[in-house]
Amino acid sequence: MKRKLLHVLGGGPWQLPTVRLAKSMGHRVLVSDMHRERPAYALADHHEVVDITDSEATLQLAARHRIDGIICDTTDVGVVTAAFVAERLGLPGIGYETARNFTNKGRMRRLTDAAGMVVPRYCLLSSATGLAAAAAAVAYPLIVKPVDSQSGRGVSRLSAAAGLDAAYRLARSCSRSGEVLIESCVDGSEIIVDGFVVAGRPQILGTARKVPFSDSLTVSSRIHYPGALPDAEFARIRAATGATLSTLGLRDGVFHAEFMLSGEHVVPIDIAARGGGVMIYTHVVPHVSGVNVNQAMIERALGEPVQISPLPDPRAANIEFFTMPRGRIAEIAGTDAAAAVPGVAAVHFNLQVGDQVGPLEHKDRRPGYVVTLANTAAEVIAIGRQAVSLIQVRMDGRSEFVSIT
Ligand SMILES: Nc1ncnc2c1ncn2[C@@H]1O[C@H](COP(=O)(O)OP(=O)(O)OP(=O)(O)O)[C@@H](O)[C@H]1O
Ligand SMILES: [Mg+2]
């Protein structure tokens, strides 16, 4: 039988696991990416330089190669393109309209609001006209964000009108469509829900608590699985997850959702039709649930049967984000020792030697993180702390190494 050809959108480091896994499952792989040099090209059977946000060009490429399936499971940037191409070629996909709902926070708000869910007060702006009035109507504290970005880029939290114009301009500069969302800041604790939908039936594969940095409330310092939710809260979260998924139209595939638990309400903040970043998709969800969601997504993209059978009791995982002193990084020590601690799945640096450590404007400005996997909640935190304590950094102009925190 001819081996199937899977088209993977994006050839960067975050797409490598999907390319490797598809190859190990016996498939051929076509990778497309806007850049001439990408790490996944060397592993792929074919690669082409095409912008993954360009739906028409990607369709032509996919048709020319006669692909058997298309996948964009690690970044929002190509989710709409994958859905568009799949729809046009009659391949499995989530549907173009659904993909747009899951990659645009304005559409998310409008649709979940119309479905009767509790959502933040919000206002969508396509220009700065009426900005101050919109903010006053939403009321402070509020959040200003682009409708279609990720990794917290361009997201600001304002407790008063000072800084509103700058926050709008920042959000606007990160918004591909140019639309900006202003919404009320929902009080409470943030819960992540990861799962997979098969034929319209969602399965929750992991819940986590997201703990923000105290000085940067929209950036998380720790993501801790399992969420350890009391039964009543879990039932409300399951209901809100089901309502959000069916309202936005996801009938098959992986999802990664963020909700605020605010009193009795479960308020949807953001939901993606792809796996979670910071190794949640590739390491954390498979560990906590026992389900290889990456493999399930490849099977799904190629029209093969998908079976999702999670462990009865979730295991634990933790993502600990560390900080460094401000300044330029001169040297980093102890990474190997940290990575060798049993239970550490990965030590990842967003910033390298020579990079500047600055304010936490968005998530990619966090210097890095440690992912730990174990059986219990207490273990994963202790292992993460131990690993972080072994890493030291020397800043430019200083002779001594200091611990990261
Ligand atoms: N209306 C809100 N009320 C309270 N907190 C919010 C609100 N909107 C955003 N946040 C906080 O800011 C974070 C980032 O916002 P959002 O998810 O909308 O942006 P994003 O670019 O998709 O970021 P991420 O990649 O972290 O999901 C959220 O995870 C949440 O902690
Ligand atoms: Mg988000």
Cβ pair 13, 35 in contact under 8 A: no
Number of domain units in the chain: 4
Question: What CATH number has the domain bearing residue 68?
Answer: 3.40.50.20
More confident residue, 286 or 405: 286
Asked if 395 contacts 330 with a C-beta cutoff of 8 angstroms, the reply is yes
Q: Are residues 69 and 164 in the same domain?
A: no
Domain contains 126: yes
Dihedrals phi, psi of 34, to nearest 5 degrees: -75, -20
DSSP string computed for 347-398: EEESS-TTPEE---SSGGGS-EEEEEEESSHHHHHHHHHHHHHT-EEEETT-
Mean pLDDT in residue range 124-147: 97
Residue 362 pLDDT > 80, yes or no?
Answer: no
Separation of alpha carbons 329 and 326, rounded Å: 9
Using the mean position of ligand 1's atoms as its centre, give its distance from the Cα of residue 55 in Å.
Answer: 27
Any atom of ligand 1 within 6 Å of the Cβ of 193: no
* Judgement on whether residues 139 and 157 belong to the same structural domain of the protein: yes
- What pLDDT does 365 receive? 81
Ligand nearest to the CA of 260: 1
Q: How far is the CA of 54 from the centre of ligand 1 (A)?
A: 26
User: Please, what is the Cα angle at 226 between 222 and 232, to 5 degrees?
Assistant: 120
**193/291 same-domain check:** yes
CA–centroid distance, 317 to ligand 1, in Å, is 21
**Quick check: CB of 363 below 6 Å from ligand 1?**
yes
What was the pLDDT predicted at 361?
A: 72
Q: How far apart are CA 80 and CA 72, in angstroms?
A: 9
Residue nearest to atom 13 of ligand 1 (CA): 218
Q: Of 295, 329, 344, which residue sits at a domain end? A: 295
What's the whole-number mean pLDDT along residues 35-54?
A: 98
199-224 pLDDT, tens digit each: 999 999 999 999 998 888 888 899 99
pLDDT at 11: 98
Measured from the alpha carbon of residue 76, the closest ligand is 1
Rounded-to-integer distance, Cα 336 and Cα 347, Å? 9
Residue nearest atom 10 of ligand 1, based on CA coordinates: 218
Last residue of a domain, one of 131, 163, 184: 184
pLDDT at 215: 81
The answer to whether residues 198 and 288 belong to one domain is: yes
Nearest alpha carbon, ligand 1 atom 25: 151
Mean pLDDT for all residues in the chain:
96
For a pLDDT cut of 70, what percent of the chain falls above it? 100
pLDDT score of 192 more than 90: yes
Note whether 287 and 327 are same-domain residues: no
Ligand 1 touching residue 151 (CB < 6 A): yes
Residue 242 shares a structural domain with residue 278: yes
Nearest to residue 40, comparing CAs of 25, 65, 19, 26?
19
Task: Tell me the CA–centroid distance for residue 371 and ligand 1, in Å.
Answer: 21
Query: Do 91 and 153 reside in the same domain of the chain?
Result: no
Same domain, 134 and 231: no
Please report the pLDDT score of residue 136 as a whole number. Answer: 97
397 Rama class: left (phi>0) / alpha (psi -120 to 50) / beta:
left
Q: Give the residue whose CA is nearest to atom 1 of ligand 1.
A: 185
Q: Which of 149, 261, 270, 365 to mutate to test the pocket of ligand 1 (most atoms within 8 A of CB)?
A: 270
Q: Is 149 in the pocket of ligand 1 (CB under 6 A)?
A: yes
Q: What is the pLDDT of residues 237-283, one digit of tens each?
A: 999 999 999 999 999 999 999 999 999 999 999 999 999 999 999 99
Q: Pairing mode, if any, of strands 5-9 and 69-71?
A: parallel
Question: What pLDDT is recorded for position 26?
Answer: 98
> Tell me, what's the pLDDT at 216?
83
Q: Is residue 321 in a domain?
A: yes
pLDDT, tens digit, for every residue of 275-308?
999 999 999 999 999 999 999 999 999 999 999 9
| Nearest-CA residue for atom 18 of ligand 1 | 270
Ligand nearest to the CA of 223: 1
DSSP-H helix ranges across 206-342: 231-248, 285-289, 293-301, 335-339
Is residue 112 situated within a structural domain? Answer: no
Three-class SS state of 227: coil
Domain CATH for 346: 3.30.470.20
Give the DSSP letter string of 276-301: -TTTIIIIIHHHHHS--HHHHHHHHH
pLDDT of residue 359: 84
Q: Is the CB of 392 under 6 A from ligand 1?
A: no
Residue 316 DSSP one-character state: E
Is 109 within the bounds of a domain? no
Angle at 282 between CA 277 and CA 284, to 5 degrees: 80
Asked whether residue 376 is domain-assigned, the answer is: yes
- Token code pair at residue 141: 């504290």
280 lines ligand 1 (CB under 6 A): no
Ligand 1 atom 12, closest CA: 218
Please check whether residue 382 lies inside any domain of the structure: yes
Measure the CA–CA gap between 14 and 17, rounded to whole angstroms. Answer: 7
What integer pLDDT is reported at residue 360 of this predicted model?
79
56 phi, psi to nearest 5 deg: -65, -45
Q: Look at residue 107 and tell me if it is in a domain.
A: no
Whether residues 96 and 126 share a domain: the answer is no
Q: Are residues 161 and 249 in the same domain?
A: no
CB 155, CB 143: distance < 8 Å: yes
Q: Which CATH number does the domain housing residue 126 bear?
A: 3.30.1490.20
Q: Are residues 344 and 398 in the same domain?
A: yes
The answer to whether 162 and 177 have CB atoms below 8 angstroms apart is no
| pLDDT for the residue numbered 363 | 72
The CA distance from 241 to 235, in Å, is 10
**Inside any domain, residue 220:** no
Residue pair 186/267 in contact (Cβ under 8 Å)? The answer is yes
Task: Report the C-alpha gap between 112 and 230 in whole angstroms.
Answer: 25
What average pLDDT does this structure show over 29-42?
Answer: 98
The runs of H, that is alpha helices, within 145-202 are 164-174
In this structure, the answer to whether residues 197 and 268 fall within a common structural domain is yes
Pocket flag, ligand 1, residue 31 (CB < 6 Å) = no
For the cut 90, the answer to whether the pLDDT of residue 346 exceeds it is yes
Show the domain range for 384.
317-403
